[in-house]
Amino acid sequence: MSSTTSTTTFAVGTTLPGTRARTGTISTPHGDIATPAFIPVGTKATVKTVLPESVGALGAQAVLANAYHLYLQPGPEVLDEAGGLGKFMNWSGPTYTDSGGFQVMSLGAGFKKVISMEATDAPDDDKIAEGRERLSHVDDDGVTFKSHLDGSRHRFTPEVSMQIQHQLGADIIFAFDELTTLMNTRGYQVNSLERTRLWAIRCLAEHNRLSIERSHRPQQSLWGVIQGAQYEDLRRKASRDFVELDRIDRENGGKGFGGYGIGGALEKQNLGTIVGWVNDELPEDTPKHLLGISEPNDIFTAIENGIDTFDCVSPTRVARNGAIYSLDGRYNVTNARYRKDFGPLDPEIENYTSQYSRAYLHHLFKAKEGLAATLATLHNVSFIVTLVDRARQAIADGNYVEYRDEFLRRYYAKA
């Protein structure tokens, strides 16, 4: 990482002809992020089961934590007093926090399909998961919700989300938005899009106020979140609206948006198309972050359509259940066939876990030893970080297409 800077900036590097793929550098007060980059998720100020320094040693350049969870426990005032998220978790590099909107909706509303990438049922604005209670309620001012921890009542507004994220102190923060799903009707999507736009105006105003009030802290970069589900006109409108909000805010002396996140549930087969719609409308010289994506074929699709950074809990979540990424596809190390397999998790991926065998991890999982999740998580995070790092290098070297095609051929050969 480079020496620290006072503000967050972005510079485009090498571009890939015929696509929107590019390399770049996001410079933050706590160092640089070479893009494209995968950002591991440390929801509660920890990438579950592993040491922060271990995550850095594997090549991760930044981590993303969640405002909702840290608000509930231990409380943003604790992190603020500690000097911010990075100091609190002993992470010296750049940090992100999401707005908390996703968790308020997904944990609180009990949506039947929150991050599904397929729309298989008829739209229904009131559908929730079977056996779940709706714990959150949205109005034009914000969201009232019950804690999933103890049932206590709380309220998030755009201003509250900004206040929490400023106390958390991440370099890159996101505007408070309403999560919609593929189950919502178009009419609801239209209304929600306007609600998110109005919330973004309030986020910018509060962010500007807090940036002055808290000028003794490293300056934070606020990124807008583009919603609109699978509708082209809504995605394009949201993008144009946020560009206009940025222009107006800067003309009035504000900080504007430092970048943009693309959020909401996306149909897998339309991922590239939707990202392309958004990037048709957003400025090329701003960084774009795709929220919640880590499947290899989706990563390549997103990169080619102009995405610079990604985050997702999947690599760590599946690791805790014994699922291991390899160049020849994902497999479950708890299967009986690996009981006496003394080879490494992936013979062609060099990382800390290369010194441990599949048989050893098989044993650890069967014995319910905590080290099983630690080693599997380290491997999976390394695998996805390395995948994106090699894609970045391939863009710079001019052999991206060859790298992509060979990777996908092997990874999905058994599918």
Catalogue the E-assigned strands of 263-316: 288-291, 309-312
In contact, 180 and 117? CB cutoff 8 Å: no
Whole-angstrom Cα Rg for the chain: 21
Whether 98 sits among the annotated catalytic residues: the reply is yes
Given 32, 98, 241, 308, the catalytic residue: 98
List the structure tokens of 262: 């693309």
Q: Tokens 């930044």 appear where?
A: 62
Q: Tokens 């739209």 appear where?
A: 123
The closest of 130, 161, 162, 131 to 145, measured between CA atoms, is 161
Pairwise CA distance, residues 294 & 21, whole Å: 17
Pairwise CA distance, residues 257 & 86, whole Å: 22
Whether 246 sits among the annotated catalytic residues: the reply is no
Instruction: Based on DSSP, count helices (H) and strands (E) in the chain, helices before strands.
Output: 14, 16
Q: Tokens 């929801």 appear where?
A: 43
Output b/e per residue, 191-226; b: 16+ Cβ within 10 A: ebbebbbebbebbbbbbbebbeeeeebbbbbbbbbb
Catalogue the E-assigned strands of 114-213: 136-138, 143-146, 153-156, 172-174
The closest of 310, 228, 309, 242 to 282, measured between CA atoms, is 242
Given 32, 177, 311, 389, the catalytic residue: 311
Pairwise CA distance, residues 304 & 272, whole Å: 8
SS (H, E, C) 321-374: CCEECCCCCCEECCCHHHCCCCCECCCCCCCHHHHCEHHHHHHHHHCCCHHHHH
Longest Cα–Cα distance of the chain, Å, equals 67
Please state, as a whole number, how many other Cβ atoms lie within 10 Å of the Cβ of residue 319. 26
Task: Say which residues have a Cβ less than 8 Å from residue 121's Cβ, sequence separation at least 6.
Answer: 113, 127, 183
- The catalytic residues are 98, 311
